[in-house]
Amino acid sequence: MSGNKISTLQALVFFLYRFFILRRWCHRSPKQKYQKCPSHGLHQYQDLSNHTLIFNVEGALLKSNSLFPYFMVVAFEAGGVIRSLFLLVLYPFISLMSYEMGLKTMVMLSFFGVKKESFRVGKSVLPKYFLEDVGLGMFQVLKRGGKRVAVSDLPQVMIDVFLRDYLEIEVVVGRDMKMVGGYYLGIVEDKKNLEIAFDKVVQEERLGSGRRLIGITSFNSPSHRSLFSQFCQEIYFVRNSDKKSWQTLPQDQYPKPLIFHDGRLAVKPTPLNTLVLFMWAPFAAVLAAARLVFGLNLPYSLANPFLAFSGIHLTLTVNNHNDLISADRKRGCLFVCNHRTLLDPLYISYALRKKNMKAVTYSLSRLSELLAPIKTVRLTRDRVKDGQAMEKLLSQGDLVVCPEGTTCREPYLLRFSPLFSEVCDVIVPVAIDSHVTFFYGTTASGLKAFDPIFFLLNPFPSYTVKLLDPVSGSSSSTCRGVPDNGKVNFEVANHVQHEIGNALGFECTNLTRRDKYLILAGNNGVVKKK
């Protein structure tokens, strides 16, 4: 008898929970269908090309449940060290707030006072961190959709380029921010405005005309359930526990390859990583100063052991039949390398233990030029003058040139300028790779004078220098008298590029310095003389 009473009570509780609690959260209509696993549930559709997929970015696309790293990137890159430290100190209190209040607080701390015209973090920095957090299974589901609509609680300026340019999402609905005089106030629009904007998009894009609207959102966060239930005929939920089993989207499956990105941080600034960064900062400053002073002033026989003891790892690989390094020649040897950081020529000099080396570069800060232990010469972008300058330097000794004209962090090689193939009959390709832990030693929009310092701030930076087989230049005796010598120049440059790319496992591209700076800094990369 008591068992029947308990079962009846359980059935009553389950009935009340299902028809009152779930109805209040989801605003479910009789025509709507709810399921929990979108990656499995959507496989029932052979073809999703005639359907519109509406998904929540934070709850259904990104693996991480925390938005702190993305706001820390904005605070550090757009606001500076003090702002990012302030955000870190307040994060324990933010974590105790509600989702909406915590989000608004992080927006305020990250964006307040930032100038809209100079804000490029959403285009040049954040896409890298978002792409590294995309779930593979969900991305494969979205690829099958005929039209994809992204809905996010994040500000539009943070997610728009990442979703449209790199994931090729057709429609992005984020939250706008209030501004005064071209500066962000750090205040996002209310969620009601987000619903109004989404309703407007549905009408303008005619999402419901002839297409079935399928929604994908988070099961653990009810923030978008009312929004999705108003427009979607079918809704799939993603649990936080499901995300733990997701695989990260591999780089070779990015719809658009991530070749260029900016910013100083090389590690994802989670709360723990950010705390470690600030704890490491005082020791990093002392270590970088010691590396700089002793590395520039000691002879190579003492500098190399000290740098290795301080944590810098340098690896040199020389082919057995490369005898040009120690050979006595009337002219210097031309070393042609890919460009990873401003320290490339210096590390070639360290690896070969040659202090009489010289380097040519397209742009170099005055500070780096003064501190460089080897002679550096700026190129003028005048082909005739630059060729004469390089020939003069070769008559004085060995010369290092980076024909890409700018650095590239990812495993890609930019187009090689063929000028180097005209000034020397024998060319030694040098494949260079570098790895850092905390900070990148390159920037497109920041102060280039600090590039070497940021590289030295890393606890264990590494450099790999590979000297490849010599290549004949277009000025060699075998190429003289060729009718179309310009074509030979490009062939030599492309050959050297492919040799270096094969040695490093990098992909060769036709992109140039101008392409990089247009994407990252909004200019053509030419520094105007005062």
Write out the DSSP string of 254-295.
-SS-------SB-S---HHHHHHHHHHHHHHHHHHHHHHHHH
For the chain, helix, strand, coil in percent to 5 are 45, 20, 35
pLDDT reading at 479 higher than 60:
no
522 phi/psi in degrees, rounded to 5: 75, 20
Taking the CB of residue 421, how many other CB atoms lie within 10 A of it? Answer: 30
pLDDT reading at 219 higher than 50:
yes
**Amino acid found at 374:** I
Structure tokens at 529: 């003389």
250 band by pLDDT with thresholds 50, 70 and 90? very high
Structure tokens at 264: 């100083």
Confidence at residue 155, expressed as pLDDT on a 0 to 100 scale:
94
Contacts of 424 (CB under 8 A, 6+ apart): 331, 334, 394, 473, 475
- For the segment 174-183, the average pLDDT, to the nearest whole number, is 92
Confidence at residue 31, expressed as pLDDT on a 0 to 100 scale:
44
Confidence at residue 218, expressed as pLDDT on a 0 to 100 scale:
83
Q: Give the predicted TM-score (pTM) of the model.
A: 0.86
In the chain, the N- to C-terminal Cα span, in Å, equals 95
23 band by pLDDT with thresholds 50, 70 and 90? very low
- For the segment 105-114, the average pLDDT, to the nearest whole number, is 96
Contacts of 276 (CB under 8 A, 6+ apart): none
In 3D, which of 500, 74, 433 has the Cα closest to residue 264?
A: 74
Question: Where is pLDDT greater, at 237 or 201?
Answer: 237
DSSP strands (E only) in 44-144: 51-56
Question: Where is pLDDT greater, at 367 or 179?
Answer: 179
pLDDT reading at 234 higher than 80:
yes
pLDDT reading at 221 higher than 50:
yes
pLDDT reading at 208 higher than 70:
no
Question: Where is pLDDT greater, at 16 or 248?
Answer: 248
Question: Where is pLDDT greater, at 27 or 68?
Answer: 68
Q: Is 379 helix (H, G, I), strand (E, B) or coil?
A: coil
Q: What pLDDT digit, counting tens, does each position of 309-361 carry?
A: 999 999 988 875 455 554 445 678 899 999 999 889 989 988 888 878 889 88
